[in-house]
Amino acid sequence: MLQGPIGSVAEAVVLALVGTLTWVQLRRWQTRSAATAGAATGAAANKSDAAAGPVDIQATAHAIVDAAEEEAQQGVHAAGSSSALPDMGIARQDGEGGAGSGGEEAEQEGSAGWIDKAGHAIVDAAEDEAKRKVHMVGSSVNIPDMSANLKAKVTVSEEQQSNPALLAAVYDDMAEKFVQHGLNLPAVEAMRQYFSNLEGPGEPEPLEYDAFPVPLPPGAVRLGVIFFQECNAKLAELVQQAAQEVLSVLPEGCRAHANKPSHYHITVYMASQPHTLRPDPFNPKDGGLKVDGSPQEQAESARPNPETLAREVAAFRAAAASTAGPELEVHRLLMADSGTLLLCSVDRSGHLAKLRKKLRQAFMGGPPKQPTIVHASIARLLSAEQLSREQIDRIQAVCNKWSERLRCMRFSLERCYHIQENTFTTVEGPRVLLPFKRNGGKSAAA
């Protein structure tokens, strides 16, 4: 030890420094223990109502997740805008011990840091998802951000598609969702982007693809469909009557579009969608779409070359020729919460699910979001205003009435079509007939 007054002072300084460092390390150990205990308490909180200290951390983390999910449901991430991501500034300030933090804030440093990491992970995941989807559900190439409408679409398993009872239960749930909650307004708002004449006299009309903000070239949108009017004309006639009655009970001023009976179709598979452009659905990398360059260059890249298009049609033809025609039966007419009036059927044969599976396997670069239920879009509500309880009940009563009349009407199919669609939802454009495998049956009318 040092001697004299100077030595005494130096010794005191050294002891103080050692004490301070020891206290800091002790606080770190305590903070780590608190964080560990907080995680355990948070897990226990799922089984009890006990709430104290670290439990609030768990609740905060859940709140962050809930907010991110709610944000995603609004479709704000699909366009790839980082400005739409949740603001984690407060969490970062807390985690970094911002100005004004005292002893209590210091004790929560480890916990705040955990929240900060969780928040950053959520933001990073959202940004990655946005980058992945920017050319799928909300591209500068065409009409931006259809994610809200795509999220509203129902997806079922291959087993459910092939099992009439399971699929019927899905349709009943869809109808009940509308009864309980009304319209999914973000989904309706997204669909409005595909229509013109949304205000003023006359009915809204679907946009031609060359009338998009950045026009799409011919052949950019391609799909395989079944027309049920040619299989059962009486059914199509009754469905049109049902649609008109549903539209007649809509609130005054509600905008809607009704499809023509000749447009009534069940989509089998979409090789290229207006919101998910795929000039080469055989190409696993973005379906051959140019993902850089100007919007005009990207749009032009959606044009399929003749060789690829011929190969695509051949794949459709081979899949249809190796599959017997589906045997479809109407289950119900329903208003989906997306605002689309649907005729929903089941497949008594199970052949449609097999055909869709063959096409998914053939087109490794095709759009990932494909139809899985057996439905035809009959009409669409295009006013993004919530319906009242009375209005919902009135619409549902008409749907129920017509469901009873249409249920069990059947239509057997001998063919489907490959179509290069030129106007949204109309399935108008160059078409190729694709016969199903002969199974000894003919088109039947109920």
Which residue ranges form the domains of the chain, and what is each CATH number?
4-133 (no CATH), 147-435 (3.90.1140.10)
Which sign does the torsion angle of CA 269, 272, 273, 277 carry?
Answer: positive
pLDDT digits 0-9 by tens, 276-319: 999 999 999 989 999 888 888 889 999 999 999 999 999 999 99
pLDDT at 147 over 70: no
Burial class (CB in 10 A: 0-12, 13-18, 19+), 290: middle
Token code pair at residue 220: 């950019």
Percent of the chain with pLDDT over 90: 57
pLDDT of residue 155: 81
Ranges of H-type helices in 46-137: 54-73, 89-95, 103-107, 109-133
201 vs 66 pLDDT, higher one: 201
Most confident by average pLDDT, 75-89, 135-149, 236-250: 236-250
Q: Average the pLDDT over 346-375 and give the result.
A: 96
At 4, the pLDDT band (50, 70, 90 cuts) reads: low
pLDDT digits 0-9 by tens, 200-245: 889 999 999 999 988 999 999 999 999 999 999 999 999 999 999 9
pLDDT at 434 over 50: yes
pLDDT at 62 over 90: no
pLDDT at 41 over 60: no
Strand residues in 145-275 grouped as ranges (E): 195-196, 205-206, 221-227, 256-258, 265-272
Token code pair at residue 402: 């017509």
How do the residues of the chain divide into helix, strand and coil, expressed in percent and rounded to 5?
Answer: 50, 15, 35
pLDDT of residue 200: 83
Token code pair at residue 151: 């999220």
User: Distance (Å, rounded) from C-alpha 178 to C-alpha 184?
Assistant: 9
Token code pair at residue 163: 């099992």
Ramachandran sector of residue 330 (left: φ over 0; alpha: ψ -120 to 50; beta: rest)? beta
